[in-house]
Amino acid sequence: MLATLADAPHVDKNLVYEPKYDGIRALVEISPSRGAPIVHIWSRNGNDKTMQFPSIVEALRKAAMKLSGKVILDGEIVALHPDGRPAGFQRLQGRIHLTGAQDVERIDRDQPVALIAFDLLREGNDDLCKLPLTERRKRLEALFEDIRLKAEGTLRLSEQVAGDGRTLYARALKEQWEGLIAKDATSLYQPGRRSPAWRKIKVVQEQEFVVGGWTEPRQTRSYFGALLLGVYEGDDFVYVGHTGTGFNQKELERVSRLLKSREIPASPFSTAIKTNEPAHWTRPDLVAQIKFTEWTADDKLRHPVYLGLRDDKNPREVVRERASDPSSASRRKPHEPHTAGSREPRASDPLPVASTRHSSRVTSASHSNRVASAPHSNPVASAFRREDLANLVNQLRALEDARRDGELTLPNGDRVKVTNLAKLFWPDLEITKGDLLRYYVEVSPFILPAVADRPLVMKRFPNGVGGKAFYQQRSREERPPAGVRIETLPDESDPISEPDAKRLVGGSLTTLLYMTQIAAISQDPWFSRVQSPLDADHVALDLDPTEHATFAKVLDVARWVRDELVSLGVPAVPKTSGSSGLHVYIPLPPHTTYESGVLFCQIVATVVASRHPKVATVERMVARRPRGTVYIDFLQNILGKTLATAYSARASEFAGVSTPLTWKEMDGKVDPRDFTIRTAPERFRKTGDLWERLRTAKPANLEVVFKKYAKQR
């Protein structure tokens, strides 16, 4: 839940006031266990920050020894002054890009940090999001009392005063805080959404800006002179000023390296700008924290000072922050959450398919121009004639029969080199690499729409399913042929945490065959697309049988999941995993965050498991799962995690295919071994594209779902 910049009174009996801490927003999950408690820390964009703050993790683990159940906290990680007071973001920015354990430990010693908790979202089996803020605060304070945490330590409670924020505001002025947060005392927690129920009262003018370029240095200055800054106004990237102060030599060098790796030939700003020194341009995906005295009459920054780069902000969300009239927002009652996609969809609303969703700018590895707002064109194989695909199959078979390497000519003119077609990928079944390539050509009209515009994670089997395999998140040293789509996502949208990580993106036959050529057996796409990487298009419940669990039990659990979703009015599309399990997918409204999707799936999974504890479980630790049960995994819905898509081949012992099913089939007898790369193509020709239902069904109304569950508590 995020705050808006809207005027709030300093005295109001309906508000509570808290310091606006100048750090990194953090969601913290603490799970007690028989061994060491499990702690995860995520940024607001879903990036895993656990390894970057070892002292906080250690403190949370000690605290978790006194917990009886899982806890999810919302808070802020802050740097500390020597006297223990929270410091500004600038003291944190030096550690954000560190990955080495020794570097992290060193900076953790040199610059102490603390987690300041201000909200409690889950306690044990209780989802607290639909409780008023005052009730959540009572539970949070009781939790801190129960585990005997000290206010001055590494784990802290946020300060909070009710009704009168004047004294706190005076302290903010004196101690140069960033500001205050005024919160409606009755507000419910709205995951991932910006709400007028929480309002920023800024004391120091400070916000994020997107870097669009830099100027050459003057005289003895090295690396660069100033950063050129902008904000988004709709689709326009608007120049707001430049800053050359606030850097030390080390930071100049680091930022310069990042800028040059992103250099582009043309200005990303919507209008021409004048600079004092020659300008260079960069992809607008770096976000800088800037403080300044005021906005000038011509909407430029006065006296801006650089504080650091952020990796927890989406550049497209960076807008000019000014206090706004809250009257329109305040007309909505505080207990009526307003979330994107939460209303009943209207007939005029677009379907949640690739061509209708909001897009973000990404940069192609093959050129430096920005991708247009419309989704990337999709040369899907369904546009190819059947005889064109048959010709490709014949090319592959002729090369394999001749035991020769060669180059395929695709119907659109692209060329893909193929090698070692006779290599046995499934030795026991005598299925070759050539067989796998021919399978993907045959089913390309079905699988390509399922992966279109989605970043792909590869698990490569260079020596077949019996050999050593390895995961590959990005394109590294390989030189893919023309037509293979590669994109670089903004750093804060990519969980790899590597600058300029290049990702293969699905949707073209060229990419599909190239990935198969380098021994990626399955197609494993993100749940979001490159145009909107932080928005999940759908979520999935992964039904994974434990040892001694029959597939009949997996079917039972899938039916129970179906029944629960039907009671909620939520559509669902099932498929086999291609191995021993089943996947149940649910379409989401446009602009739904991954966090909201995970929460929804967690609730459904927990309800089903609690009703059928002898058959279903949500226990994450394998050793603690009851024997013979089916694990309902809802955690695959995190940014960057994947499942094999529909129509994908799998590296299972029977060369299985992840096959879409109807619920009528699910009510009968199903054997996943009936669907293999040898048998599945004929089925798909008969059934048509059953997976299309996921792209065309009315999405789940999460507001209705959450309200229903809240009433059942």
Please state the domain extents for the chain.
2-202, 206-317, 363-525, 538-712
b/e code 370-399 from CB counts within 10 Å (16+ = b) = bbeeebbebbbbeebeeeebebbeebbeeb
Position 351 pLDDT exceeds 70: no
CA dihedral 530, 638, 497, 228 (to 10 degrees): 50
pLDDT in the model for residue 493: 66
Amino acid (one-letter) located at 546: T
Instruction: Tell me the average pLDDT across 519-548.
Output: 93
Name the least confident of 32-36, 473-477, 709-713: 473-477
pLDDT of residue 663: 96
Beta bridge partners of 535: 593
Angle at 176 between CA 173 and CA 181, to 5 degrees: 75
Residue 353 — pLDDT band, cuts 50, 70, 90? very low
Residue 380 has pLDDT above 70, yes or no: no
Contact 319/231 with Cβ under 8 angstroms? yes
Confidence of residue 204 (pLDDT cuts 50, 70, 90): low
* Range of weakest confidence among 106-110, 511-515, 534-538: 106-110
DSSP 705: H
336, pLDDT greater than 80: no
Give the span between the Cα atoms of 65 and 31, in whole angstroms: 10
Task: List the beta strands (DSSP E) in 500-597.
Answer: 502-504, 524-525, 538-545, 573-576, 582-587
pLDDT at 144: 85
CATH architecture of structural domain 538-712: 2-Layer Sandwich (3.30)
**DSSP class per residue in 432-458:** EHHHHHHHHHHHHHHHHHHHTT-BEEE
SS3 114: strand
588 in Cβ contact with 603 (< 8 Å): no
Q: What is the DSSP letter of 548?
A: T
Region of poorest pLDDT, from 294-298, 421-425, 670-674? 294-298
What is the percentage of the chain residues whose pLDDT exceeds 70?
A: 86
378 pLDDT band, cuts 50/70/90, is very low
Higher pLDDT, 475 or 580: 580
Q: In the predicted model, what is the mean pLDDT of residues 465-492?
A: 78
Q: How far is CA 398 from CA 52, 308, 390, 487, in A?
A: 53, 58, 12, 34
Residues facing 86 on adjacent strands: 80
Strand order in the sheet with 616-617: 573-576, 582-587, 538-545, 630-633, 616-617
Domain 2-202 and domain 538-712, same fold? Reply is no
pLDDT computed for residue 102 by the predictor: 79
Mean pLDDT value of segment 256-269:
94
Task: Give the C-alpha distances (Å, rounded to integers) separating 436 from 112, 217, 425, 441, 643.
Answer: 53, 55, 8, 9, 19
The CATH number of the domain covering residues in 2-202: 3.30.470.30
Residue 512, pLDDT above cutoff 50: yes
- Amino acid symbol at 169: Y
User: pLDDT tens across 138-159, in order?
Assistant: 999 988 887 655 545 889 999 9
Separation between Cα atoms, residue 594 and residue 434, nearest integer Å:
37
Sign of the CA dihedral running 382, 384, 385, 391: negative
Task: Note whether 123 and 191 are within 8 A (CB).
Answer: no
What average pLDDT does range 66-76 have in this prediction? 88
pLDDT interval class at 501 (50, 70, 90): low
Interior/surface letters 651-684, b for 16+ CB within 10 angstroms, e for the rest: bbebbbbbbbbeeeebeeebebeebbbeebbeeb
As a whole number, mean pLDDT of residues 328-347 equals 32
Please write the tens of the pLDDT for every residue from 679-689.
999 999 999 99
- Band the pLDDT of 379: cuts 50, 70, 90: very low
- Residue among 639, 693, 685, 643 nearest 663 (CA): 693
Residue 136: predicted pLDDT:
94
Residue 550: the pLDDT is: 95
Angle between helices 433-451 and 509-517 (to 10 degrees): 140
Residues in Cβ contact with 633 at an 8 Å cutoff, skipping those fewer than 6 apart: 541, 542, 543, 544, 605
Highest mean predicted confidence (pLDDT) among 176-190, 394-408, 642-656: 642-656
Taking the C-alpha atoms of residue 224 and residue 541, their distance in angstroms, rounded to an integer, is: 49
Is residue 243's pLDDT more than 90? yes
Q: How confident is the model at residue 671 (pLDDT cuts 50, 70, 90)?
A: very high
Q: pLDDT at residue 706 above 60?
A: yes
Q: At residue 359, does pLDDT exceed 70?
A: no
Lowest mean pLDDT of 20-29, 167-176, 340-349, 687-696, name the range. Answer: 340-349
| DSSP 3-state of 157 | strand
State the residue for tokens 């969809």: 345
Is pLDDT of 368 > 60?
Answer: no
pLDDT at 367: 29
pLDDT of residue 333: 33
d(CA 544, CA 613): 15
pLDDT value at position 311? 82
Q: Look at residue 160 in the predicted model and tell me its pLDDT.
A: 94
Mean pLDDT of the chain: 84
Contact 613, 625 (CB under 8 A): no
Q: pTM of the prediction?
A: 0.52
The single-letter code of the amino acid at 266 is A
Is the model's pLDDT at 632 over the cut of 80?
yes
Quote the pLDDT of residue 474: 62
CA distance to 190, 247, 428, per residue, from 634 (Å): 20, 44, 34
Q: What are 194's strand-pairing partners?
A: 2
Distance CA 523, CA 520 (A): 7
Is pLDDT of 35 > 90? no
**What whole-number distance in Å separates Cα of residue 220 and Cα of residue 243?**
17
Least confident residue range of 402-416, 544-558, 662-676? 402-416
The pLDDT assigned to 8 comes to 83
- Predicted local distance difference test score (pLDDT) of residue 352: 27
Could you say which DSSP state residue 206 is in? E
The residue type found at 95 is R
By residue count, the chain amounts to 713
Q: How confident is the model at residue 374 (pLDDT cuts 50, 70, 90)?
A: very low
pLDDT score for 500 = 53
What dotted CATH number matches 206-317? Answer: 2.40.50.140
| pLDDT tens track for 311-324 | 888 899 899 886 54
- Give the per-residue pLDDT at 670: 94
- Round to whole Å and give the CA distance between 130 and 187: 9
Question: According to DSSP H, which parts of 283-385 are helical?
Answer: 327-330
Q: Which secondary-structure segment (H or E) carries 488?
A: strand 486-488
Give pLDDT tens digits for 187-203: 999 887 778 889 888 77
Q: How far is CA 113 from the centre of its chain?
A: 25
Confidence of residue 578 (pLDDT cuts 50, 70, 90): very high
DSSP 532: B
Residue 16's pLDDT band (cuts 50, 70, 90): very high
Task: Indicate if the pLDDT at residue 44 is higher than 90.
Answer: no
β-bridge partners, 676: 656
Q: Residue 672 has what DSSP assignment? A: G
Structural tokens at position 395: 């090319």
Strands 126-127 and 161-164 turn out to be unpaired
165 φψ region: left (φ > 0), alpha (ψ -120 to 50), beta (else) = alpha
Q: Beta strand 431-432 with 502-504: parallel, antiparallel or unpaired?
A: unpaired
